[in-house]
Amino acid sequence: MSFVSSLKKFFSPRRRIIGTTDLRRALKNNEFVFYYQPEWDLKTGEVKGVEALIRWESPNGIIPPAEFIPALEQTGLINEFTPFLFDQTLHDLRELYQAGFDHLFMSVNLSVVQLHDPLLLDIIRKSLDNYAIMPEKLECEITETKSMDKPELEFQTLQQLRDNHIKLSIDDFGSGHSSFNYLKDLNAHKLKIDKEFIQSLFDKPANETIMRTIIGLGHSLNLIVLAEGIETSAQEQWLRKNGCDYGQGFWFSRPLPLTMLISFLRAQEDQTNTSYQSEK
């Protein structure tokens, strides 16, 4: 990466400069928090799991991940962040179980730099043990990117995760950088279709054809197919009618802090019970 492009990454879109000291301080002061966005089964209307999305609650307000994850990656600090990622999200999954939602899975985003960490599997195993979580309940979302400079090591790490019964999701499928390598070789469990496809679904008929083809491709590889970024009822209905398995997006719920997520799930449950009773 050139000097200029690496410098650019350290400026947030609002021209905030994010340095190592800020990031270290944020980690130390517990300023990083996870919000959770439900993943829905489109056929049954049930929440199956949640995706953990990080936020930086800085003294100057909430900073979204796109503004600081690149800085964490480029400074290598992301590897100091990994133990916190698994400790916090699996702690929160245990809280969800204790609140009665013990069928849910937890999905976390991993960047390629984290796959280079020889300690990754040990870190994950330790957190799974600490909170008595079955590895099958954990999913790691990976995006295929141009910056994959050690593909063999990355595949080896992902294979280790699979061997330990941790699930893998192919994130942002169809976005600028993705190719078919992950689809061919990863032995993944789920394909997450990039939200751009959902948002442009009705722009022209060819987009619907492409979407049907991606859903079919995922199914022919025995993957669960999830559509990200569903914002309207029309998108949800089309996806359900065309066999897409799971959905996620503002139409169902925004990413929520843990306590709000629990209230949301309870309200959902009440609604389901009420509609069940009124049908009887």
Residues binding Ca ion (CB under 5 A): 109, 141, 171-172
Which residue from 31, 29, 26 is spatially nearest to 57, judged by alpha carbons? 31
Residue with the two structure tokens 């916190």 = 84
Considering beta carbons, is residue 137 or 247 the nearer one to ligand C2E? 247
Nearest to 142 by CA among 175, 115, 105: 115
Rounded to the nearest whole angstrom, what is the least distance from the CB of residue 74 to Ca ion in the complex?
20
Minimum CB distance to ligand C2E smaller for 101 or for 247:
247
CA atoms within 13 A on the CB side of 112: 16
Q: With CB cut-offs between 5 and 8 Å by kind, which of ligand C2E, Ca ion, none does residue 95 bind?
A: none
Q: Decide which of ligand C2E, Ca ion, none touches 54; Cβ closer than 5 to 8 Å per partner kind.
A: ligand C2E
> Residue 73 is which amino acid?
E
Q: Compute the least distance from the CB of residue 276 to ligand C2E, in Å.
A: 28
Q: Is 206 in the site for ligand C2E (CB under 6 A)?
A: no
Instruction: Find the binding residues for ligand C2E in span 237-266 (CB under 6 A).
Output: 249-250, 255
66 binds ligand C2E per the rule CB under 6 A: yes
Which residue's entry shows tokens 């330790």? 126
Taking the least distance from each CB to Ca ion, the nearer of 141 and 245 is 141
DSSP class of 65: G
Paired strand residues for 83: none
- 190 contacts ligand C2E (rule: CB under 6 A): no
What does the alpha-carbon distance between residue 166 and residue 152 come to, in Å, rounded to a whole number?
A: 19
> Do 53 and 35 form a contact (C-beta atoms < 8 A)?
yes
Identify the bridge partners of residue 55 per DSSP, sorted by sequence position: 33
249 binds, among ligand C2E, Ca ion, none (CB under 5 to 8 A by kind): ligand C2E
Return the sign of the alpha-carbon dihedral for residues 252, 254, 257, 260: negative
Residue 54 sits in the site that holds ligand C2E (CB under 6 A):
yes
Which residues contact ligand C2E by CB under 6 A?
37, 53-54, 64-66, 69, 85, 109-111, 141, 171-172, 195, 228-231, 249-250, 255
